[in-house]
Amino acid sequence: MRVARWAAVMLAFGTVVAAEPARSVDAIVADYVAARGGLAKIRSVQTLRQKGRAFGEGGRQAVVQRELKRPGKIRFEFTVQGVTGVYVSDGGKGWMVSPFEGDMEAKPLPEEAIADAMEQADFEGPLVDWKAKGHKAEWAGRETVAGREADKIKLTLASGTVRYESIDVKTHALLRTETTRKLGNRTVRVEAVFGDHKKTNGLLFPRSVEVGAVDRPQRLRIVVDSIEVNPPIDDARFRRTTAP
Q: Which is nearer to other proteins, 67 or 168 (CB)?
A: 67
Member of 23, 43, 60, 199 binding other proteins (CB under 8 A): 60
228 Cβ neighbours under 8 A, 6+ residues apart: 48, 49, 50
Q: How far is the CB of 80 from other proteins (least distance, A)?
A: 7
CB proximity list for 180: less than 8 A, separation 6 or greater: 161, 162, 163, 187, 188, 189, 190
Give 1 or 169: the residue with its C-beta nearer to other proteins: 1
Residues 6+ apart with CB under 8 A from 39: 33, 128
Nearer to other proteins, 96 or 192 (CB): 96
Quick check: 30 binds other proteins (CB under 8 A)?
Answer: no
Site for other proteins (CB under 8 A): which residue of 1, 22, 97, 115? 97
Query: Which stretch, 21-29, 41-49, 98-106, 145-153, contacts other proteins (CB under 8 A)?
Result: 98-106
Residues between 136 and 195 with contacts to other proteins, criterion CB under 8 A: 186
Interface residues with other proteins (CB under 8 A)? 8-9, 56-63, 77, 79-86, 88, 95, 97-99, 102, 104-106, 186, 213, 215-218, 240-242
